[in-house]
């Protein structure tokens, strides 16, 4: 069974690995290619399942996607875009949330779009209400059907003013991908400004879009009648880089992450240093290491950019089980992102989760029934266990826990990790981890 990994833990990770383009940018840039009337070239693409899913969806819509030998460069030719069969799109349902971002480009190209039931990681409800409201504001007609959502724009899409209730990454991308070719001016307030969004704006500008970003989370777009293809090298995956950094810290190791870049990781690097980890930044990447002695407990709150991102939280929590004292982590982006701690507790960690907003500002989940704060007491040695991967980032955290624990752990459902971590088994081997297939 290839979906099970037996991890023989207790060894520090040592060595060098490379991260390529960011999963959460590459998939969106691929969708942006749909908006052009000439082919686009995207470089630094990682070979992960999310890229395969978007490739499949694009091909269903008539886009030709060609990859080079190691999959790192994609050429996307959207000149023959066509409507896909509902059943075919539906076959992709549950594997990704990306289909929702096809709406704007498909409405511009074909006047209609169909969105199957959406999947993505089970880390909360993950609704799409902001997305649908944005599309309606542009003048689209949104109809819910049993098999999914049908969206039409018989009279075209018209620029609009939108204020997001929360700076959602996906909703901001939805707006960008729709506004660039809508008629007139669109203004978005309370926009997300994650580096992956800024790189999407770079791509759209290369295609011919007119977009300005103010310092106060306001983005303005002047619609244009046509866009061309782009050539772009994806920014690096700061979530993957931080995941390997956390693995180095938890296992008392020393890992150089080639391709990791400082500007997108400032908040992570500050926290890594406060916990007691050391790092050296070079032109090629970042070396993360445990300098010996005790790690320190911290108070941490996840937030939208430029804060400490939610996707960094799960891997770092494993390292916090090895820090001396009480750490407090307040998750403010997702209401339900501590489910993975149950397995850690089973391995000997002392982690309590609370409904209250602990250690930071009150957030929109306070006084509601969501366990969104955690108190971690350490250091506690972790014991090997049999664990089931719950979601992408939680799964990588379980892997770190298994690598930290002495003895042999069985990690099931590792296929989920392939969604966002390129060749993670090859990288584990390069770092001296010992594991075998169950």
Residues recognised as catalytic? 121
Q: How is residue 76 annotated by DSSP?
A: E
Applying CB under 6 A, which of residues 170, 208, 285, 315 lies at the interface with ligand EPU? Answer: 170
**What whole-number distance in Å separates Cα of residue 390 and Cα of residue 343?**
10
CA 174 to chain centre: 16
**What whole-number distance in Å separates Cα of residue 49 and Cα of residue 399?**
18
Structure tokens at 137: 């504001």
Under the binding rule (CB under 6 A), the answer on residue 117 touching ligand EPU is: no
Binding region for ligand EPU (CB under 6 A) out of 178-186, 286-294, 307-315, 382-390: 307-315
User: Which residue's CB comes closest to ligand EPU?
Assistant: 170
Binding region for ligand EPU (CB under 6 A) out of 120-128, 211-219, 257-265, 289-297: 120-128
Under the binding rule (CB under 6 A), the answer on residue 124 touching ligand EPU is: yes
- Of 90-109, which residues contact ligand EPU (CB under 6 A)? 97
3-state secondary structure of 129: helix
Which residue lies nearer to ligand EPU by CB, 353 or 385? Answer: 353
Count of Cβ atoms closer than 10 Å to residue 107 Cβ: 25
Structure tokens at 436: 């075998």
Count of Cβ atoms closer than 10 Å to residue 331 Cβ: 29
Applying CB under 6 A, which of residues 199, 240, 303, 311 lies at the interface with ligand EPU? Answer: 311
| Under 8 Å between Cβ of 91 and 60 | no
- Of 219-278, which residues contact ligand EPU (CB under 6 A)? 239
| Under 8 Å between Cβ of 96 and 53 | yes
Under the binding rule (CB under 6 A), the answer on residue 296 touching ligand EPU is: no
> Where are any strands of DSSP class E within 178-322?
185-189, 210-213, 219-222, 231-233, 254-258, 278-281, 285-289, 295-296, 299-301
Under the binding rule (CB under 6 A), the answer on residue 334 touching ligand EPU is: yes
Q: How is residue 428 annotated by DSSP?
A: H
Applying CB under 6 A, which of residues 310, 313, 321, 341 lies at the interface with ligand EPU? Answer: 310
Structure tokens at 212: 């300005």
Q: Which DSSP helix (H) or strand (E) runs through 41? A: strand 40-43
Under the binding rule (CB under 6 A), the answer on residue 178 touching ligand EPU is: no
Applying CB under 6 A, which of residues 51, 65, 103, 128 lies at the interface with ligand EPU? Answer: 128
Residues that bind ligand EPU (rule: CB under 6 A) add up to a total of: 27
| Closest distance to ligand EPU from the beta carbon of 131 (Å) | 5
Binding region for ligand EPU (CB under 6 A) out of 68-76, 129-137, 201-209, 397-405: 129-137
Applying CB under 6 A, which of residues 392, 399, 401, 405 lies at the interface with ligand EPU? Answer: 392
Count of Cβ atoms closer than 10 Å to residue 204 Cβ: 25
Under the binding rule (CB under 6 A), the answer on residue 390 touching ligand EPU is: no
What residues line the site for ligand EPU (CB under 6 A)? 23-24, 97, 121, 124-131, 166, 168-171, 192, 239, 309-311, 333-334, 392-393, 420
């Amino acid at each position: 069974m290839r979906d099970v990994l037996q991890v023989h833990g207790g060894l520090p990770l040592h060595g060098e690995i490379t991260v390529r383009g960011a999963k959460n940018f590459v998939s969106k840039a691929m969708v942006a290619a749909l908006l052009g009337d000439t082919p686009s070239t995207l470089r630094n693409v990682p070979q992960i399942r999310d890229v395969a899913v978007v490739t499949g969806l694009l091909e269903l819509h008539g886009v030709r996607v060609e990859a080079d030998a190691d999959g790192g460069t994609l050429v996307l030719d959207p000149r023959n875009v066509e409507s896909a069969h509902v059943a075919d799109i539906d076959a992709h349902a549950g594997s990704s949330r990306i289909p929702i971002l096809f709406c704007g480009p498909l409405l511009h190209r074909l006047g209609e779009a169909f969105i199957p039931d959406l999947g993505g990681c089970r880390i909360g409800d993950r609704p799409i209400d902001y997305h649908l409201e944005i599309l309606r504001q542009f003048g689209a007609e949104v109809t819910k059907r049993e098999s999914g959502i049908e969206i039409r724009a018989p009279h075209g899409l018209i620029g609009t003013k939108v204020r997001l209730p929360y700076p959602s990454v996906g909703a901001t991308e939805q707006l960008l991908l729709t506004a660039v070719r809508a008629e007139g001016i669109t203004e978005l307030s309370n926009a997300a400004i994650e580096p992956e969004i800024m790189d999407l704006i770079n791509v759209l500008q290369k295609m011919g879009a007119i977009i300005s970003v103010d310092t106060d989370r306001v983005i303005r777009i002047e619609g244009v009648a046509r866009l061309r293809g782009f050539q772009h090298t994806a920014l690096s995956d700061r979530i993957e880089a931080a995941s390997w950094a956390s693995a180095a810290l938890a296992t008392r190791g020393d890992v150089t992450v080639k391709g990791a870049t400082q500007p997108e990781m400032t908040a992570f690097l500050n926290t890594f240093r406060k916990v007691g980890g050391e790092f050296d930044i070079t032109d090629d990447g970042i070396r993360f290491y445990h300098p010996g002695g005790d790690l320190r407990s911290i108070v941490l709150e996840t937030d939208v950019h430029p804060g400490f991102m939610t996707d960094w939280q799960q891997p770092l929590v494993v390292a916090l089980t090895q820090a001396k004292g009480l750490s407090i982590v307040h998750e403010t982006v997702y209401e339900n992102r501590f489910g993975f701690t149950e397995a850690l507790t089973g391995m000997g960690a002392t982690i309590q989760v609370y409904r209250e907003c602990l250690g930071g500002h009150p957030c929109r989940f306070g006084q509601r029934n969501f366990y969104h704060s955690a108190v971690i007491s350490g250091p506690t040695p972790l014991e090997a266990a049999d664990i089931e991967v719950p979601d992408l980032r939680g799964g990588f955290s379980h892997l770190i826990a298994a690598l930290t624990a002495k003895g042999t752990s069985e990690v099931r459902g590792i296929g989920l990790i392939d969604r966002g971590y390129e060749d993670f088994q090859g990288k584990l081997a390069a770092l001296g981890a010992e594991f075998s297939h169950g």
